[in-house]
Amino acid sequence: MSSVTEMPVSAAAATRPLPKRRGRSNNRPLLLLLLGPAAVLIVLFIVGPALYGMYLSFTNTQLTGFAARDPKFVGLDNYVYLLNNADFLGSLGHTGEFVLYSAIIGQTVLGMLAAILLSRPWMRGKGIIGAAVLMPMIVPEVVASLTWASVLSNNSSGTLNQLTGIFGVPPTAWLQVVPMASIIVVNIWRGIAFAMIMFQAALEDVPVELIEAARIDGARAMQVFRHVTLPLIRGPVFLYLLLTTISTVGAFGLVYFLTQGGPGGQTQLAAIYIYERALQFSQVGIGSAASMILLVIVLVLGSVYLRLAKVEV
Amino acid sequence: MTTLANRAASPQTAAPVRHTRRRRLTAIDLVQRVLGYTLIVMLALFCLVPFAWVVLSAVDANAGPNVQWPTVSIENFVNFFTNSGTPLLLLNSLIIGIGATALNLVLGLAGGYALARFQFPGRRMFMFSILLIRVIPAPATIVALYLILVKLNLTNSLWGLILVEAVLQLPVTLWLLKGTISAVPIELEEAAWVDGSSRFQAIWRIVLPLAGPGLGAAAMLTFLGVWGDFLTPLVMLQRQELYPLSIGLFRAFSEHNQVDWGLLAASAIVYVAPPAVLYVFVRKHLLHSSLGGAIKG
């Protein structure tokens, strides 16, 4: 509670004298009127589903069929089923692979590269290049998917096949032959801008004097980055990793549009598994249990990142 | 003479020094710069080339599924606005986007004012809780949300979708507006009370105009989030006449046998236009909300 004073919001100081000056009792109805609707709706549509999902995961609820009329409490059956189910474990593996290569490696490396290059004083055309990198993030995910559907198109005049054709490579059905690699590239493409923005903000806060001092001492550019810059921006980097991991674990539209989990389940991410189980095969109980497992994984990852970043909350 | 000579000489001596220093730097960094430009240009191309098909096909009268040199015409856009189905997609998207944004702002402004101006037990708890909510991936709660909405009879209705979308964006709006309103000095409001304004009049005349930038940022972030959402309308709406552009585009693309590629590309351009225009205004605020919102927690 003492940390109120640590809040960066400058106005914290402005509001602090307020409660002492005014009686509290007459504010109760006004407070309820103002904050009540927002609080009730958040509980109903955000907190409610999370708790209800937890309850559903212990039942055999179905949308249609016999069990739909009379759902029963089945204990941990759904969890036992899922943890022995190759499809579900596979979908977790695909999500892990997807997050690792697209978010943690691809977006981070390319976003950092873009942020560093655009922070060089000699770089010209920063505005145009920055805008180009931002484009994939601005467009809605349906349009992003649509553009890549044409790039990865399997016939010989798909954009990528036309490009590789220049080098004499025969046309390839990219989404059939290398589906996982394809959606990883698509997701990297979509996320570079967010990484770049986060890292640009972090790099601006690194004192120039430290870098210059290291250069004078004879350190090469890579050494400066590794031993001076990187430790200084460690907090924002882990924060970024946290945010991108959360959003990538929840990635649905981009992949569903392109592959619908196929071919042969090779791109079936956990999010797609949940959607299909619950809303297409109408096994809500199993879908909810899968959601809970996914949620626990995200929370564990989140706390690990926060620990590594030494962020003081 | 000496001073003249000195004056004439000093720039000369200074110039070579500067010159050599620049040349030395260039020699060291030339490779680095060439490499840097090559990498950044390749990165920019990687980001832009996928858009080639959408942009070229939208203005191509004979558009196909692949990149080709267009027969330039605006026929596809004319088709988009005169077809029986497509204008309705745009209308639904606008109704959902604007409706949800308006509702979100009303709820967020009232809640944000309460959080900024009142000290009550559980206030910080509430702020942290709604921040924590952002950790939950959307697909993890969509099933239970759907069942709750079925029970409340809110599926297959634009009103239901507006309500849900407004609430899903509410945590961010509350944080943003709480911060903005806290920055408005309470003394200004108190002066208005002394002058005989009621509490709500003071909010309307004093707080609202001063909270303008934060309000604008919240409005645009909400609109962008709602406009781009795919999963929620996909789950909530099954009736074709209610589809927004996101679902309409997905369905049109999925009908593999009879896709009107030019129309599809034109629809995509129409769908991209509002976020692209709005984005120019929110670039800075977007950064603050994603970074600041998380750090403050």
Instruction: Give me the DSSP letters along B84-95.
Output: SSHHHHHHHHHH
Do B53 and B187 lie in a common domain? no
Residue in chain B closest to A221 (alpha carbons) equals B32
Q: Is A239 an interface residue toward B (CB < 8 Å)?
A: yes
Contact predicate B192/B206, CB 8 Å: yes
Do B113 and B29 lie in a common domain? no
What are the tokens at A126? 């920063």
Q: What is the mean pLDDT of chain A?
A: 82
Q: Which of A232, A134, A238, A146 is nearest to A189 (CA)?
A: A134
Residue in chain B closest to A284 (alpha carbons) equals B143
What are the tokens at B260? 């009107």
Residues 146-185 of A with CB under 8 A from B: 146-151, 153, 155, 157-159, 162
Three-state SS at B198: coil
Say whether pLDDT at B288 is over 80: no
Residue B218 CB coordination number (10 Å): 29
Contacts of B51 in chain A (CB under 8 A): 135, 147
List, in order, residues 6 or more apart from B145 with CB less than 8 Å away.
A45, A48, A49, B164, B235
HEC string of A29-59?
HHHHHHHHHHHHHHHHHHHHHHHHHHHHCCE
Do B15 and B110 lie in a common domain? no
Do B153 and B292 lie in a common domain? yes
Do B94 and B13 lie in a common domain? no
Do B158 and B241 lie in a common domain? yes
Do B83 and B33 lie in a common domain? no
Residue in chain B closest to A110 (alpha carbons) equals B43
Residue B228 sits in a domain whose CATH number is 1.10.3720.10
Say whether pLDDT at A23 is over 70: no
Looking at residue B263, what is its pLDDT? 85
Top pLDDT among B202 and B93 is at B93
Distances (CA, A) of A161 to A77, A153, A164, B65: 48, 8, 5, 13
In a domain, B139, yes or no: yes
Residue in chain A closest to B234 (alpha carbons) equals A253
User: Per residue in A198-218, pLDDT tens?
Assistant: 888 888 888 888 888 888 888
Q: What is the dihedral of CA B41, B43, B48, B52, to 10 degrees?
A: 90
N- to C-terminal Cα separation, chain A: 12
User: Per residue in B102-153, pLDDT tens?
Assistant: 999 999 999 999 888 888 888 888 888 887 777 788 888 888 899 899 989 9
Distance, CA of B206 to CA of A262 (rounded, Å): 56
Do B20 and B102 lie in a common domain? no
Distance, CA of A264 to CA of A272 (rounded, Å): 13
Determine, for residues B53 and A150 on separate chains, whether the beta-carbon distance falls below 8 Å. Answer: yes
**What distance lies between CA A210 and its chain's CA centroid?**
33
Determine, for residues B68 and A1 on separate chains, whether the beta-carbon distance falls below 8 Å. Answer: no
Which ipTM was obtained for this model? 0.80
Q: Which of A157, A182, A184, A181 is nearest to A171 (CA)?
A: A157
Contacts of A312 in chain B (CB under 8 A): none
Position B24 confidence tier, pLDDT thresholds 50, 70, 90 = low
Looking at residue B9, what is its pLDDT? 42
Distance, CA of B152 to CA of B148 (rounded, Å): 6
Delimit the domains of chain A by residue range: 77-309
Closest-CA distance of chain B to residue A77, Å:
19
Residue in chain B closest to A27 (alpha carbons) equals B118
Fold topology of A77-309: MetI-like fold (1.10.3720)
Of A206-215, A267-276, B272-281, where does the model show the most confidence?
A267-276
In a domain, B260, yes or no: yes
Residues 97-126 of A with CB under 8 A from B: 110, 113-114, 117-118, 120, 122-123
Do B266 and B129 lie in a common domain? yes
Looking at residue B220, what is its pLDDT? 85
Position A2 confidence tier, pLDDT thresholds 50, 70, 90 = very low
At position B110, the amino acid (one-letter code) is A
N- to C-terminal Cα separation, chain B: 71
Contact predicate B248/B85, CB 8 Å: yes
User: Per residue in A39-55, pLDDT tens?
Assistant: 999 999 988 998 998 89
Determine, for residues A41 and B52 on separate chains, whether the beta-carbon distance falls below 8 Å. Answer: no
Do B216 and B101 lie in a common domain? yes
Q: Is B50 an interface residue toward A (CB < 8 Å)?
A: yes
Segments forming the whole domain that contains residue B36? 2-58
Do B141 and B195 lie in a common domain? yes
Q: Is A46 an interface residue toward B (CB < 8 Å)?
A: yes
Burial label for A270, CB within 10 Å (0-12, 13-18, 19+), is buried
Determine, for residues A189 and B46 on separate chains, whether the beta-carbon distance falls below 8 Å. Answer: yes
Q: Is A14 an interface residue toward B (CB < 8 Å)?
A: yes
User: Per residue in B1-11, pLDDT tens?
Assistant: 444 444 444 44
In a domain, B73, yes or no: no
Distance, CA of A145 to CA of A173 (rounded, Å): 16
Say whether pLDDT at B280 is over 60: yes
Q: Please compute, for residue B13, the number of CA atoms within 13 A of its CA located in the half-sphere on the CB side.
A: 6
**Number of folded domains in chain B?**
2
Determine, for residues A292 and B167 on separate chains, whether the beta-carbon distance falls below 8 Å. Answer: no
In a domain, B64, yes or no: no
Mean pLDDT of B212-237: 88
User: Per residue in B28-60, pLDDT tens?
Assistant: 778 888 888 999 999 999 999 889 888 888 888
